[in-house]
Structure 1
Amino acid sequence: MRSVLAAVCGVMLTAAAGPTADPKNPTCPMQPDWSTNKTMQLTVKSQSGMKVLMAEGAIDKGLMPRLFQTLQANPDISEIWLRSPGGVASVGNEAGRLIRKNYPNVVTRIPKGWACFSACNFMFMGGTVRIVEPGGLYMVHMFTHLGDRAAIKEEIQEDADSAVDMIGDIEQSSALLASDDNDFLIRMGVSRKLLTDVMYRQKAIEGSGDDKSTRRCLTQAELFQYNVANASD
């Protein structure tokens, strides 16, 4: 009986503690629920008497026509719920601009348990009213065009001149993206300190030392501090 009670108590304590934290990214869970869809799936559903667009999966290059057509066919959509691991950065910005310009009354929301990472951050910012429910994850990182560290090392070893050209291209594209993101935040009414104080302070790629963190999940206080979220239920 004691063994059974101990086991039950252990299960209850584990459940109460919530999701297991990621040891490399301690502000975030080990397994964020950001959908495994290879491309973002757009599904219109009725929730609590209102029409909601569920946007779930990776932000792909072909998202914009699908998003435009879905919103145009459903002008009475009240909210867009986001669950995404990110994807194409420029498309995330385009989606945010489309929402803000053409559908300024639509609320963007990250429901409890769902995660919105990387390019999804910028799509979410498109909402004039933005809600991140307690337990919802707004997860940021330092954008990068570096890609695979091993591939870069191999390039340097095989062809130094080619590596220099590649690094130059990376620097230029990163600078352009940084400028675009900065302008985007200003237009969306989000504090630029989100970039300087949070995003830019994350590692672009996993380090080799003790600190390997590349992701940061904002607290509810930080979400309102940087005006990422500006409303609550």
Structure 2
Amino acid sequence: MSGAAARPRGPGIRRVMTACIVAQVLIGAAVVIEAGGLLDPGRWRGPALPGFDPSQPVGPDDQTRRYRPRDVPAAPGTMRPDPAPGQPLPDLSGLPASLRIETVARGDETLLSLTGTIDQGAAARFRDRLEAMEPPDAILLHSPGGVVAEALEIGREIRARDLPTRMVAGAACLSACPYMLAGGTVRSVSRDARVGVHQSYYDRNAYLPLFVGVASIQEGEAEAMRFLQEMGVDPLLRIPALETPADAIYILTEEELTGYDLATALTD
């Protein structure tokens, strides 16, 4: 072989590849930190928001509360099912981690209550329960929210079966839950119930490029607004939701409930 001997390139290539990987990790971390607002001092101090309490009234300019699902109390007594003959009443001291679907008999009405977190598979369980019973007189709601896609599917199932939705005094319908409320052909909300909205999650993955995450969020918002329009609810309801971070909840006033057509009737 003539000419200068070829220099080994293996170690150099490995160093370059290692540097590229480290740079990508650092860039990814910077994107996550920036997108999450982790450098914002206000994020760590947190706003001086009162905790969520359905017994406390809200009014204009006093509607945002700290949001922690565990702060939502157990279902109101009027939503609790009667125990089966010979069976004790189930423990209802707190909200369940998955959506509990139960039949509630009140007077001459048969109601179906949806209580707890809207988890994966909740829509399928709800559909199975409806198919196994006579159509209920109304769907009762009390939920801190959960998986948006499941809530949308439940809302569409409610509308397809021409069922009304109802919220009794002391009930809460937060985060993704208003999509279930919107599915009702008639949507009755007690003046002593609380309906709240905030920013939603749409299966974002922090390890995906930022533009992919943004596209996913935009697609999710478009689907949510389209759903509201199909249900006869003003899609502008998403404005206060988008303005409220996920660790807070914006409680709708009576005027907003009816103004956005989310409630078709307010009850005492």
Pairwise TM-score range, normalised by the shorter structure = 0.7 to 0.9
Matches within 5 A, 1:80-91: 80-91=139-150
Query: In the comparison of the two structures, how many residue pairs are matched?
Result: 188
Corresponding residue SS for 1:215: strand
Distance 1:26 1:232, change over 3 A: closer
Residue-by-residue CA offset, 1:84-110 (whole Å, 9 max, x unaligned): 111111110011011101x11x21012
Partner of 2:156: 97
Distance 1:225 1:36, change over 3 A: same
Aligned counterpart for 2:136 among listed residues 54, 74, 77: 77
How far off is 1:146 after superposition?
A: 8.4
Matched, 1:68 2:110: no
Matched, 1:119 2:161: no
How far off is 1:57 after superposition?
A: 0.8
Matched, 1:181 2:224: yes
AA matched with 1:93: L
Corresponding residue SS for 2:104: strand
Partner of 1:229: 263
Partner of 1:202: 244
Measured on the aligned residues, the alpha-carbon RMSD in Å equals 2.5
User: TM-score normalised to the size of structure 1?
Assistant: 0.73
Structure 2: unaligned runs, 5 residues or longer:
1-54, 75-93
Corresponding residue SS for 2:137: strand
Residue-by-residue CA offset, 1:167-205 (whole Å, 9 max, x unaligned): 333212211111100110110000111113x2122134x
Aligned counterpart for 2:109 among listed residues 40, 50, 59: 50
Aligned counterpart for 1:215 among listed residues 249, 253, 257: 249
AA matched with 2:171: W
Give the distance between the partners of 1:20 and 1:126, measured in 2 at CA: 26
Give the distance between the partners of 1:222 and 1:194, measured in 2 at CA: 9
Aligned counterpart for 2:200 among listed residues 143, 160, 163: 143
How far off is 1:41 after superposition?
A: 0.6
Q: Is the 8 A contact 2:175 2:249 kept in 1?
A: no
Matched, 1:130 2:187: yes
Normalized per residue, which structure has more helix? 1
Q: Is the 8 A contact 1:20 1:29 kept in 2?
A: no
Q: Is the 8 A contact 1:33 1:83 kept in 2?
A: no
Give the distance between the partners of 2:122 and 2:245, measured in 1 at CA: 28
Percent identity reads 28
Partner of 1:32: 72
Residue-by-residue CA offset, 1:188-231 (whole Å, 9 max, x unaligned): 000111113x2122134x5xxxxxxx210101111001000012
Give the distance between the partners of 1:85 and 1:166, measured in 2 at CA: 30
Partner of 1:7: none
Partner of 2:44: none
Give the distance between the partners of 2:150 and 2:202, measured in 1 at CA: 15
Q: Is the 8 A contact 1:131 1:231 kept in 2?
A: yes
Give the distance between the partners of 1:68 and 1:38, measured in 2 at CA: 19
Larger radius of gyration: 2
Q: Is the 8 A contact 2:202 2:220 kept in 1?
A: no
Corresponding residue SS for 1:69: helix
User: TM-score normalised to the size of structure 2?
Assistant: 0.64
With 71-80 and 183-192 compared, the bigger mean Cα shift is at 71-80
